[in-house]
Structure 1
C-alpha cells in the first residue's frame, strides 16, 4: 500500500488541477458542497424536498462531472479494467474518506468488537444507523470495509480487489452465475463478498463518497479547503 500514490499525476492530458485521482476526488467533493449550499439557500430546512431540484441552476441539475468517469451501459470486464479514471477515482475517494473517519474512530488493532461494529456501520443501508444510509455506494462500502479490515489487523498488503482498482488486471475479476463481471472483496478471513461491476456503480460511488464527506465536514468547510478550485469546478459543471 505504501507504494500507491493517488496524488501523483495519472492523467497528464487533463488540465492542471485535474491530473491525479486526488484532484478528481477534490473536484467532485467541492462540486457537491457548492450544490448543497445552493440547495440550502433555496430551502434552508428541506434542501432535498420535492421541487428544490427544479429551482437549481442548470449546472447543478445535470451531472457534467460524472461524464468524466462514466462507462457505456454495455461496458465489459475489459472496458472496466481500461478505464483508470473510474477505478482510481473511486479508490481514492474511499481511501480519503477512511482517513477522515479514522480520525474519530481510532481503530485499535485486534479489537474485534470495534471492528464488527464499525464494519456494520460502514456496510449498512437505510434499515439501521449507517454511514451511507440510502445512498448507492456498493463499491465504496466494500473498499472501506477492506480498508477497515487491514487497519484493524495492521496489515498493509492490498486486497486483490484493491489491486484491481489500481491495475485493472482482468485476471482479478470473475463472472458470476449470471455472467456479470465481478470482484471478490475480503471483509474478514471468513467473510468474502462478491460485487458485480456495472457502469453506473462508479459514478454513484464517487458521488456518494463526496456526499458523505461533505455531510461530515460541512459544505462551508469543504469550500474553504478547496477555495482555489471554486472557479475551475464551477466552470466545468456549467458546461451542460
Structure 2
C-alpha cells in the first residue's frame, strides 16, 4: 500500500453528521477543542495556564473529555476491537501525518541525509531527558508514526510500513502477541531498530490529544480558532452537552462508577 492511496478527507463514518464524517474532520475537532481550552486556561491564569486550581475553574465543557469518549474503547480492547472501530486508528494516524507535514514544512527533510534523519528521529521520539517534540506528554503511538514518516522521507519511499497499514486496515495479521500477552505492533525505525508497541485504547486517546496540543503549539491557538471558525458552534454544542452530562453523573456516582461512565452526549439533531 502506498501513501498516495490514503485520503483522510473521505467520509467513512456514515453515522456522524456532516462535518464529522472523515478522519480529518475529527482531527480538526480535537485540535480546535484544545485551542479553545488553552485560550480559556490563559484567560483564567495568563502566566500559569496549567497551574494549581486552573482545571477546577474551567467550565464542565473543558473539564471533562467529551471528544475522548467518542474514540474510547474498553481498556482491555483486543486487535479485533480495534479492527471493528476504525475511528480510533484513523484519527490517530491522520493526526500524526498532518503534524508531520506541518513540521516538515520547516524541516524540509532531504532524502538520505543521515545527520538530519538522526536529529529528527531523536526529536520526535524523545522524552523529558532531552529536547523533544512531545516533552512530557504521553504520545507513544504518535511518536512511532512520526518516526516511520521520517524514515520513509529519508528513504524517499511512498510504500507504507506494515504498522501504518494496520492503522488503515486494522488487519490482525499485522499484529503479534508480546511477552505479556498483549496485542502489539512492531515499528521499524531504522534497519536494526525495532520498537514494539502494545495496543491500549487509553494510550490512543492520550496520543490524539497530545498530537492536537503540539499542533496548537506550532500554529498558535488564535490561528487554529480562525482556521476552524466554522466548526466552533457544532463543537461547543458537543462539549457543553457532554460536560453537563459528566458533571451531573460525577455528582451522583461514586468515583469508581464515574470512571466507567460514558458521558458521550450523542450527536445533536441540529448539528
1:83 counterpart = 2:81: no
Aligned to 1:194, what secondary structure does the other structure show? strand
Contact in 1 for aligned 2:176/2:184 (Cα 8 Å): yes
1:66 to 65, 68, 79: 68
Which residue of 2 is the match for residue 5 of structure 1?
7
Contact in 1 for aligned 2:142/2:207 (Cα 8 Å): yes
Which residue of 2 is the match for residue 201 of structure 1?
203
CA distance in 2, matches of 1:158, 1:84: 18
Which residue of 2 is the match for residue 154 of structure 1?
156
Which residue of 2 is the match for residue 182 of structure 1?
184
1:136 to 138, 143, 155: 138
CA distance in 2, matches of 1:49, 1:150: 39
Aligned to 1:235, what secondary structure does the other structure show? helix
Pick the structure with greater CA Rg: 2
Query: Structure 2, unaligned stretches of length 5 or more?
Result: 243-271
Which residue of 1 is the match for residue 117 of structure 2?
115
Q: Deviations over 1:85-139 (max 9, x none)?
A: 0000000000000000001000011100000011000000011110000000000
**Residue 60 of structure 1: how far off its partner (Å):** 0.3
Q: Return structure 1 stretches of 4+ with deviation > 3 angstroms.
A: none
Aligned to 2:5, what secondary structure does the other structure show? coil
TM-score in terms of structure 2 length: 0.88
Which residue of 1 is the match for residue 230 of structure 2?
228
Which residue of 2 is the match for residue 49 of structure 1?
51
TM-score in terms of structure 1 length: 0.99
Q: Deviations over 1:136-157 (max 9, x none)?
A: 0000000000011001111110
Q: Deviations over 1:160-210 (max 9, x none)?
A: 000000000000000011101100011111211111111101100100000
Aligned to 2:187, what secondary structure does the other structure show? strand
Aligned length: 240
**Residue 18 of structure 1: how far off its partner (Å):** 0.2
Contact in 1 for aligned 2:79/2:170 (Cα 8 Å): no
Aligned to 1:238, what secondary structure does the other structure show? helix
Contact in 1 for aligned 2:99/2:211 (Cα 8 Å): yes
Which residue of 2 is the match for residue 217 of structure 1?
219
CA distance in 2, matches of 1:62, 1:48: 15
Aligned to 1:65, what secondary structure does the other structure show? helix
CA distance in 2, matches of 1:169, 1:239: 35
Aligned to 1:239, what secondary structure does the other structure show? helix
Aligned to 1:151, what secondary structure does the other structure show? helix
Aligned to 1:2, what secondary structure does the other structure show? helix
